């Protein structure tokens, strides 16, 4: 054996023992808990990710490799992801989402957003939607670089990110995107079609969705802007010391918890580490003032179990307050958030601001200037569309978990389980002849029509209903299930200044006859409503519909019906000239059958134009009829509302 051979050392490991395998298994289990599933697959089966990638999704290997060079100085990028199963979301889901993200006011110059794609600055959204029809799913991302405000444009950044994703996933991607500059954190919405370049379903590995894509985005931000300097990191953390929200310092504190406590007086003693320790101590002292931390001994702290949820709730509350202040443009108001709990007072007000509280799931919010003198913030039900709530319109919001006064009134009026509209009319007229009994009973009938749909009540004949004893409770449960906790109804699309001198049954007229109510003050919007009511009374007096008797104002009988009829007659003349069809007026209780042609928006509300082949009629519109556009429908009109029947089958049509 030569001398060179003697100095050569070669390792020849044997097969791992059972105990070693158990130890490795425990290590891999802990790695998996920390989110390292791709690493687990790589260690367990060196050829595994390539072999299992097709089964578990594309990008599994890339997720384990992406961002390995990233460190503490990396630029942070937040990515939110939503996988949408198109069959469950509905046929119009993609169209609705694209309309949301391309809405007005989101571009850098305050104009309408413009969708773009891999090679065009003006994406063909109808063509993109058409390509996605019949697909199984769709990916929706929000990409928000922390330092997006330092970038001149987000389009090149997004295109490069999607190009790198194509390399990671091994397929070309079909996507469109819209940049949003209307928030404190500029971001990009990306809609990715769920098909690969071969037309098969695009399955992306969970590891890539949760980590890989974010790491690629952070890697790209580093290349564009350079890593964060120590000074930038220090200034960023210093701003977090006193903030009343969940911060990066709080995240560090959570990571340093050992057996329920934090030791902040020990550790590395270099200058950078000492400065970061100082910031952590400052944050702990601030949390102690807030009741979320306690110093049990020198340099030894504990955190409250409510530390994270409290700070996240406070951050959300702060965002809401800033949103409301922007919407009110400096007008002094007491701020309130609509509470969905039982017993919460209904809110009536004017829409002064609206937007998306959750952009990924398109859940909107409204800011109301209430008649009670306060400003209210409320989240819309999940499937409500912002376009249905125009700025300046009047809405009423109530807890969806509280029974309605109308339901309780109907139950109290029922005899032997039967509610009769004629008896209700007689009671109102006997109790107060000045009240518009027809309008009040009509509003209760509309509620009964709504409860008939889920089978809570039954209409036996015109004006006769079978009522269960627990109708109020069933109605409450129905509202809670339908609205998700808050029920919001548009009372008028017209601002009050346009309602004062218009022919039509307006929201102001409903205030006059007393079927709409709410605690009204002289402050803010409540004061404006009081002045508008005075002007409205003057206009109605000119029209011969009210009469002053000293300090009293006497309203014409059936005021709302009269105004609604005049409004319809005026609109019918315009439609006759446009279509050449004759208008056919409808008597109360009459059945109308025809094709639903269009929606007509009047001062009295929305109406559906029904074409019966010989003429047209205007019928009070309801949201459920919109999906029947161009189809044959039947409506039974009663006062200011209508019940609808769909389908041509004999015997038992689909009734709403």
- In tens, the pLDDT along 502-551 reads 999 999 998 988 755 557 888 889 999 999 999 999 999 999 998 888 87
* Structure tokens that stand for 372 in this block: 């009670």
The CA distance from 257 to 254, in Å, is 5
Q: How far apart are the first and last CA of the chain?
A: 97
What the block records as the tokens of 75 is 């630029």
CA distances 381 to 167, 398, 447, 480, 656, Å, are: 40, 12, 19, 10, 21
Please give the pLDDT value at position 598: 92
User: Does residue 591 register a pLDDT over 90?
Assistant: no
pLDDT tens per residue, range 136-159: 999 999 999 988 888 888 999 999
Residues 250-259 have pLDDT tens digits of 888 888 888 8
Give the torsion sign (CA, 115, 81, 244, 227). negative
Whether the model clears a pTM of 0.85, i.e. scores above it, the answer is no
Q: Rounded to an integer, what distance in angstroms lies between the CA atom of residue 176 and that of residue 184?
A: 23
Which pLDDT value is given to residue 200? 92
Q: Which of 4-13, 136-145, 638-647 has the lowest mean pLDDT?
A: 4-13
Q: How far apart are CA 440 and CA 428, in angstroms?
A: 9
How many other C-beta atoms can be found within 10 angstroms of the C-beta atom of residue 325? 16
- What is 60-225's CATH topology? BirA Bifunctional Protein; domain 2 (3.30.930)
The Cα–Cα gap between 173 and 166 comes to 6
Predicted pLDDT of residue 149? 81
- The phi-psi region of residue 278 (left if phi > 0; otherwise alpha if psi is between -120 and 50; otherwise beta) is alpha
Mean pLDDT of 593-615: 93
Q: What pLDDT is recorded for position 9?
A: 53
- CA contacts within 13 A on the Cβ side of 443: 17
Round to whole Å and give the CA distance between 206 and 137. Answer: 15
Q: What is the tens place of the pLDDT at every residue in 52-91?
A: 334 467 887 777 776 565 666 788 898 999 999 888 777 6
pLDDT on residue 267: 57
What class has domain 574-655?
Answer: mainly beta
Q: Where do the H-state alpha helices sit in 91-210?
A: 93-101, 125-132, 155-169, 206-207
pLDDT tens digit sequence for 372-416: 889 999 888 777 788 889 999 999 987 766 678 888 899 999 999
């Amino acid at each position: 054996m030569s001398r060179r051979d003697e100095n050569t050392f070669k390792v020849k490991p044997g097969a791992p023992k059972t105990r070693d395998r158990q130890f490795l298994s425990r290590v891999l289990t802990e790695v998996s808990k920390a989110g390292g599933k791709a690493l687990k697959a790589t260690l367990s089966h060196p050829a595994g990710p390539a072999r299992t990638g097709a089964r578990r999704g594309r990008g599994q290997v890339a997720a384990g490799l992406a961002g390995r060079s990233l460190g503490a100085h990396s630029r942070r990028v937040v990515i939110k992801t939503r996988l949408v199963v198109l069959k469950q979301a509905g046929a119009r889901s993609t169209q609705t989402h694209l309309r949301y993200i391309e809405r007005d006011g989101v571009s850098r110059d305050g104009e309408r957003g413009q969708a773009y794609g891999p090679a065009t600055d003006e994406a063909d959204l109808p063509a993109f939607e058409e390509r996605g029809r019949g697909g199984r799913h769709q990916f929706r991302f929000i990409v928000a670089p922390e330092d997006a405000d330092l970038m001149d444009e987000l389009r090149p950044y997004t295109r490069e990110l999607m190009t790198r994703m194509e390399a990671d996933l091994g397929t070309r991607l079909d996507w469109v995107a819209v940049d949003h500059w209307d928030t404190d954190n500029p971001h990009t919405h990306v809609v990715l079609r769920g098909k690969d370049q071969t037309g098969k379903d695009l399955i992306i590995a969970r590891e890539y969705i949760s980590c890989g894509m974010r790491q690629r985005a952070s890697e790209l931000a580093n290349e564009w802007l350079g890593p964060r300097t120590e000074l930038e990191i220090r200034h960023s953390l210093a701003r977090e010391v006193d903030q009343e929200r969940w911060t990066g310092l709080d995240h560090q504190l959570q990571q340093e918890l050992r057996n329920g406590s934090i030791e902040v007086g020990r550790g590395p003693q270099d200058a950078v580490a000492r400065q970061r320790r100082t910031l952590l101590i400052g944050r702990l002292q601030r949390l102690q003032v807030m009741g979320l931390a306690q110093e049990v001994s020198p340099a030894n702290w504990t955190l409250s179990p409510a530390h994270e949820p409290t700070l996240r709730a406070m951050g959300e509350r702060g965002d809401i307050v800033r949103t409301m202040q922007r919407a009110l443009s400096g007008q002094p108001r007491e701020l309130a958030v609509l509470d969905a709990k039982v017993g919460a007072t209904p809110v009536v007000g004017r829409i002064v601001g609206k937007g998306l509280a959750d952009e990924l799931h398109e859940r909107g919010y409204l800011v109301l200037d209430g008649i009670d003198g306060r400003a209210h913030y409320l989240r819309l039900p999940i499937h409500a569309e912002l376009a249905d709530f125009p700025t300046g319109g009047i809405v009423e919001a109530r807890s969806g978990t509280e029974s309605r006064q109308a339901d309780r009134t109907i139950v109290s009026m029922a005899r032997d389980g039967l509610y009769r509209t004629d008896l209700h009319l007689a009671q109102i007229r006997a109790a107060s002849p000045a009240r518009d009994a027809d309008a009040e009973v009509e509003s209760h009938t509309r509620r009964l029509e709504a409860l008939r749909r889920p089978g809570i009540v039954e209409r036996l004949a015109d004006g006769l209903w079978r009522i269960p004893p627990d109708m109020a409770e069933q109605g409450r449960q129905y509202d809670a299930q339908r609205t998700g906790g808050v029920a919001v109804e548009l009372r008028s699309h017209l601002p009050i200044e346009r309602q004062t001198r218009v022919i039509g049954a307006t929201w102001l007229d409903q205030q006059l006859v007393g079927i709409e109510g709410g605690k009204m003050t002289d402050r803010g919007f409540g004061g404006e409503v009081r002045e508008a009511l005075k002007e409205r009374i003057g206009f109605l007096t000119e029209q011969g519909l009210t009469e002053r008797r000293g300090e009293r104002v006497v309203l014409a009988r059936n005021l709302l019906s009269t105004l609604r009829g005049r409004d319809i007659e005026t609109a019918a003349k315009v439609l006759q000239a446009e279509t050449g069809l004759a208008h056919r007026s409808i008597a109360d209780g009459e059945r109308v059958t025809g094709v639903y042609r269009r929606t007509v928006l009047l001062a009295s509300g929305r109406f559906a134009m029904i074409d019966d082949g010989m003429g047209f009629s205007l019928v009070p519109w309801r949201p459920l009829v919109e999906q029947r556009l161009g189809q044959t429908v039947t409506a039974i009109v009663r006062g200011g509302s209508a019940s609808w029947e769909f389908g041509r089958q004999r015997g038992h049509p689909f009734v709403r």
